[in-house]
Structure 1
């Protein structure tokens, strides 16, 4: 592909999100591995504020698998853990933690893309922010999400055509206790959601027919959530042009039509007028109520910007325009300093639902990522670091600042740096996210117009000591601010470290972590956790 021809691909990806399956950087490179394991461990947790100490045992099974070839790029990291307690204060339960990302070229021009995640995340942004996600902790819910669908890419003469379909599903368990003071207003508690997304495009490269490259694209999406029968529906059609003005610089502009409508039903109310909730804290939907509009936009959208690509290793794109009834700003930057060091930064602005934003964030994660070998359930609730410089990784912190059912305007910035040198891995991620909620007014208590904010940072290091042992560690800090009245900000920090030594197929490991969070009006919380375990690799 010529340098000029590359601009049309950049616009296609930026406009409707069709991502082609690409071969490894070295076309001759092949990487296949699968490592199932079982593990047993003994855990001690301590509340350093109250001096309360609990112990329990764990049984776990998992798999680490990767396949990187010309036709397939896929990786799976999954862990199932069962806790066995000696104390009634520690309930026996199960924890699922995992990430899967893959892209497979089925036949020339047709590929299959998918991803799935299982993790534990905060539920109510006003509540506790424990860094330890696997224990007797408040405000934590088990979550599962995934998407799958085909992509078509072909040519009709000089015209490149493409289409895709994605199906997504998300499920979150109820969190139980949230740490929110008694008497606080109830918020809707997410249950399930599913989505269908259809996209299509056609375009010509600059210089093939005209000096400018032209792309026409369209998309239709529907996302439905069970809580209050929420429904998100969008239709988009637009045209984009790209004009190279220098060997490494092009200007771009686009315009089109977009319609988005978000509706939900009212909760059922008791004799006193209060919303009725079920045994898991979710609102009971009033089946007889008519859907009410939470958000609606219908009309012209437009934007323009610049694309800078001085080399195959560096790319910058920035756009400004009008959408969602106001100004919007978005952009991205990627830089592969070498084969082992990569950086990615993204600025985003969109009207989203929780499940929709999670699906898009999951699709943005690399198909080859660094396994952080975490036994406390934190690995996939924050930043994931790529194993190649061409895909540095991404952060889901902006999505996971809390689980929300209501739609919202999401804006923020994420940045990730990932580096590898032999068996040494290093990653840093940070970002800022804000969500302005969109909900029907005059329904008693409404979060319409309420704005949540979060700031987050994370660093990860994995280093070998010798051929049989190594260490890894993670540190993180998060700040959450809810716009709800009488809901002070929450600041949480934590650090986790692990040492392992391999004896053939058997590995001994020791893990320790310390976590804290504080909130105005509530005593600071400080806790620690440690585990000694043995892992057997098949």
Structure 2
């Protein structure tokens, strides 16, 4: 029996907080554990609008996907990818294609020194927080768009004598397909929607652990940049900082740091018509004026600091909490990781960062480890928003609450609990996020500058292996959305579903599922839909 050390973490601002899990594992499993399961599905689905009993939609779904888990000496990977084609029988509805998936890969190029990591996600996002909040995305669904994001880059971690040397770089690309918000509350105008962006992130540090000196220290620097197509927006952050760690006991240490950073966010104006109003293209997005000078929407430079405590009472428990001054005001952030056994894992993070839509999505992907479970809605086949693992868990609700194009300051708290025991599999994710947007008062989006939106969310997954041939799972989810726009009502979306799975013959599985979804928006008729599904899945 050997011990396998899983290292992952949470990137909070420019600080990477490690979470370490040590799991007992046989030596042969350490050498190679590869599971690759391609599959195909055929499903018949019925969706009924319970607020309008005559509105019933049926369609056939054909899907192909792959679930893969790879654990070897040189590589770790988790891939869950699915393509679905929906064939509708109702007039006015065209057939639909949906790609959804989540992947994280890590490869050791030079063992314990140089590695390459990559990640990707394909999922749905809400377009505008003021619009509809459908949880069952079937048919002519308003205010929902397809999102794709990928990243890749190398990591260096080594020692030079007593010095710890670390460096990493990654490049990412994010694309939002649609800008259709659907009906908005009276008097509300559409906001500009994110299109695509390329982001870069580079960090390097050198330091020493307590031992040779009565304290530990590190010096680090970093650079982040995101170039978005929409209004040629540019986010750039450069920083340098020094940190110290002063042990108080064998399990408790005081930590603190001071640094200097320069953050600049800028955009160009939109093309204007004869009346001076911004011009929109056929996709509903603002047309960028390439001759416009750059307009500053955020410019913050100067000294920042933070201080706090680091508590590690055991290898399975880590707590770090810091308070300081940054981004022109007080800042609070930290993390808590607890894994009392192989069946239970609790992760909590409090974050405060300035970012753009693409950069934050890449950050979230990079924070997720290479061993996780990403369950799907059994009726729509789409990801449920959270991924749960023993080393790390993560929910994407904070970044996918809307696809606004402007950069923002994001603050919030996320918590995830994973529990697996005697055939039961449980995952709970809850959180709150708050984004304060930046835009130039001289540009095309002055109303967005200073806008603050909020999102409260909860996701619960419970599954059980009944016997060798059957299992079931249930999902519960809820969102309360406040767009921050004057006169725009809050939007509440809730839903639940349950599915039963039965192996018919080796490789062939039958599925039966039901669901109930609702959202309520003041000023509009509330929506309540019921869904039912019968399907077959064959695993090769």
Task: Tell me by how many angstroms 1:13 deviates.
Answer: 9.3
CA contact (8 A) 1:381 1:397 kept: no
Distance in 1 (CA, whole Å) between partners of 2:418 and 2:408 is 30
CA contact (8 A) 1:481 1:488 kept: yes
CA contact (8 A) 1:97 1:377 kept: no
Partner of 2:101: 98
Distance in 1 (CA, whole Å) between partners of 2:102 and 2:380 is 12
Q: 2:50 aligns with which of 48, 51, 55?
A: 48
Q: 1:57 aligns with which of 50, 55, 60?
A: 60
Using the size of structure 1 for normalisation, the TM-score is 0.94
Partner of 1:26: 25
Distance in 2 (CA, whole Å) between partners of 1:525 and 1:157 is 64
Gaps of 5+ in 1: 1-5
Residue 248, structure 1, aligned to residue 238, structure 2: no
Partner of 2:16: 17
Distance in 1 (CA, whole Å) between partners of 2:493 and 2:9 is 38
Partner of 1:337, secondary structure, is: strand
Partner of 1:115: 119
CA contact (8 A) 1:192 1:225 kept: yes
CA contact (8 A) 2:157 2:165 kept: yes
Gaps of 5+ in 2: none
Residue 456, structure 1, aligned to residue 427, structure 2: no
Q: 1:261 aligns with which of 236, 261, 264?
A: 264
Partner of 1:361, secondary structure, is: helix
Distance in 1 (CA, whole Å) between partners of 2:159 and 2:121 is 34
Distance in 1 (CA, whole Å) between partners of 2:530 and 2:277 is 40
Distance in 1 (CA, whole Å) between partners of 2:515 and 2:370 is 29
Distance in 1 (CA, whole Å) between partners of 2:371 and 2:270 is 43
Q: 2:515 aligns with which of 507, 513, 516?
A: 513
Deviation string, structure 1 residues 219-269 (Cα, Å, up to 9, x no partner): 111111101101001101111000111110000111111011000111112
Q: 2:330 aligns with which of 324, 327, 339?
A: 327
Residue 78, structure 1, aligned to residue 77, structure 2: no
CA contact (8 A) 1:334 1:342 kept: yes
Partner of 1:229: 232
Deviation string, structure 1 residues 41-75 (Cα, Å, up to 9, x no partner): 11111121122111111110000000123432211
CA contact (8 A) 1:23 1:71 kept: no
Residue 411, structure 1, aligned to residue 415, structure 2: no
Partner of 1:3: none
| Superposition map of 1:280-299 within 5 A | 280-299=283-302
Distance in 1 (CA, whole Å) between partners of 2:63 and 2:227 is 34
CA contact (8 A) 1:413 1:431 kept: yes
CA contact (8 A) 2:11 2:367 kept: no
CA contact (8 A) 2:375 2:384 kept: no
Distance in 2 (CA, whole Å) between partners of 1:200 and 1:422 is 44
Q: Report the CA distance shift for 1:14/1:158 in structure 2 as closer, same or farther (over 3 A).
A: farther
Partner of 1:420: 420
Task: Tell me by how many angstroms 1:186 deviates.
Answer: 2.4
Deviation string, structure 1 residues 5-44 (Cα, Å, up to 9, x no partner): x9xx999999543979998653623431011001111111
Deviation string, structure 1 residues 341-392 (Cα, Å, up to 9, x no partner): 0100100011111111111111122311124243444753522111x2x32x
Q: Report the CA distance shift for 1:150/1:377 in structure 2 as closer, same or farther (over 3 A).
A: farther
Partner of 1:246, secondary structure, is: coil
CA contact (8 A) 1:276 1:283 kept: yes
Q: Report the CA distance shift for 1:298/1:179 in structure 2 as closer, same or farther (over 3 A).
A: same
Partner of 2:341: 338
Partner of 1:429: 429
Distance in 1 (CA, whole Å) between partners of 2:309 and 2:487 is 43
Partner of 2:490: 489
Task: Tell me by how many angstroms 1:177 deviates.
Answer: 4.2
Q: 2:167 aligns with which of 135, 139, 163?
A: 163
Deviation string, structure 1 residues 301-357 (Cα, Å, up to 9, x no partner): 111110000000111000011110111000101110211101001000111111111
Q: Report the CA distance shift for 1:12/1:498 in structure 2 as closer, same or farther (over 3 A).
A: closer
Distance in 2 (CA, whole Å) between partners of 1:166 and 1:103 is 13
Partner of 2:398: 398
Partner of 2:481: 480
Q: CA RMSD in A?
A: 2.2
Task: Tell me by how many angstroms 1:181 deviates.
Answer: 3.8
